[in-house]
Amino acid sequence: MPKSAALLTLLALLCGSAQAAGLLSRGGPQAFLPADEAFVPDAVGVAPGRIEVRWLIAPGYYLYRHRLSFKLADGQTPGKITIPDGAPYHDEHFGEVEIYRDELRVVLEVPVAAARQDLTLGYQGCAEAGLCYPPETRQLSLDMPRP
């Protein structure tokens, strides 16, 4: 009996969590998060000439690697962009792509002398439950560590 009761508890927890996450209310807006809650970008100057960009990605959502873009204030691309491998994802229309769930950290190399960096991020993602958000751009301005 304790084993089946424990299973029942687990099932109830899952059902409750699913409802809390809106998974049982397909088709309504409450089943999905607004884009700025599904994907939360941030950037920090971690060292002179080095920026770490981080996205927090809500459970049940993902970002596409091929939709990431990074521009500096003058429209220039950072010297080096280090993006981790994403999870392989097969899409019947887009073919083989890479996606990120939960969290993504990207390292950018930028001019060392700049005390401040204005960064424009481009990204796009979807909900696993079948909804996609338009390509998004976000502008961030950050203080850089002195050399």
Q: Is 118:138 a contact under the CB 8 Å cutoff? A: no
Over the window 76 to 95, marking each residue x when it contacts another protein by CB under 8 A and - when it does not, the resulting string is: ---------------xxxx-
Among 40, 44, 73, 127, binds another protein (CB under 8 A): 127
Round to whole Å and give the CA distance between 31 and 96. Answer: 27
Q: What is the DSSP letter of 69?
A: E
How many secondary structure helices (H) and strands (E) does the chain include?
A: 2, 12
Nearer CB in complex with another protein: 28/147:
28
Closest CA to 25 of 115, 145, 131: 131
Among 50, 134, 138, 144, binds another protein (CB under 8 A): 134
Residues that bind another protein (CB under 8 A): 1-2, 4-6, 8-9, 11-13, 15-22, 24-32, 34-35, 67, 91-94, 124, 126-127, 129-135
